Amino acid sequence: MRQGQNRGSRLLGLSAVCLLLLAVVVHYRIALRHRDPGSSFSQMLYLPSGKYLRPATFGYHLLVADFVYLWSIQYYGDPGFHPRMEYLQHTYDLITELDPNFIDAYQTGALFMFYEGRNPQAGLRLLDTGLQRNPSKWILPADAGFYCMMNLRNRDLSARYFEKAAAIPGAPSLAKRMAAGMHFRMGDKRLAYQLWEEVYRTVEDPSIRQTAFQHVHDLKVLIDLEDLREAIRKYQNRFGREPLHLNQLVSSGILKAIPVDPDENLYEYDRQTGTVKYSRQLTVYRRYQ
């Protein structure tokens, strides 16, 4: 008897879900006939919060999330249609509340919010919510990092997102490489060096390892030259002249030791001009030499 009641409840639930999905299809078809953005006809199906809709799906919330997701792509991705962007956040909040592990929905929703909805804050919020619900998905903060870099031109925020992605176990070296690149652009060569050095030590792919080696090599040179030039400037301010040789930077207490290049050779120093340089050409950071 109880088994029959359970079966009846499931059939009733499935029927309710089918009716809901049918309503979405019918509404969209009607909306296609009213493409005029000035029309008073509502182009967007009213969707309640996923918090309230989920119990009404009788356990079929994942199915509803999939269907609304496919509908949203058709609705917001139709180039001949003018969708109501004020419903965009609500639509993807609904989908991800029904299915908190729907990673594609977070990514697609953020994409629409950045490019169609012109609402980057909402896009980042959606990706942040996705990471909170799915802390092992490095792709979500990585996506946020790319948006901050390419769309917002916010290097600091981009670097923070890439670092967050890189810290997640199983994240590819790409996240750490992007974080290193952003820190270099922000002027932090030492942190960029540390991140590339970690990639070099941990990555297995030979081509990526070679790339990491080139970055580590060049960044060491740039850091050494920066330290030597700063030390020479301090020496000039203290003694009113350039040092006769680099060892005077140590004897004067300005440096603890004279750095050597990656091949363990001394950097070239011109005592007439007080300039120091690397004798070879850099590979990656040539124009910063």
CATH number, span 25-32+41-137: 1.25.40
pTM: 0.77
Domain ranges of the chain: 25-32+41-137, 204-289
Q: For residue 87, give both structure tokens.
A: 């419903």
Is the pLDDT reported for residue 182 higher than 90?
Answer: yes
Instruction: Please write the tens of the pLDDT for every residue from 130-176.
Output: 999 999 999 999 999 999 999 999 999 999 999 999 999 999 999 99
d(CA 4, CA 130): 39
CA distance 259 to 267: 8
**So what's the pLDDT on residue 1?**
46
DSSP class of 43 = -
CA distance 109 to 73: 9
User: What is the spatial distance between Cα 275 and Cα 269, in angstroms, rounded to a whole number?
Assistant: 6
User: 283 in helix, strand or coil?
Assistant: coil
Mean pLDDT of 90-107: 95
Structure confidence by residue, pLDDT tens digits, 227-267:
999 999 999 999 999 999 999 999 999 999 999 999 999 99
Contact 218, 282 (CB under 8 A): yes
Question: Which whole-number Å values give the CA distances from 288 to 63, 213, 218, 258, in the listed order?
Answer: 54, 17, 10, 21
Identify which of 81-85, 86-90, 179-183 has the greatest average pLDDT.
Answer: 179-183
Kindly tell me the burial class for residue 145, based on how many C-beta atoms sit within 10 Å of its own C-beta (0-12, 13-18, 19 or more): buried
Confidence (pLDDT) at 93: 94
**Higher pLDDT pick, 35 / 59:** 59
Q: Which residue would you say has higher pLDDT here, 16 or 118? A: 118
Residues in the chain: 289
Give the pLDDT score at 193: 97
pLDDT of 39 reads 41
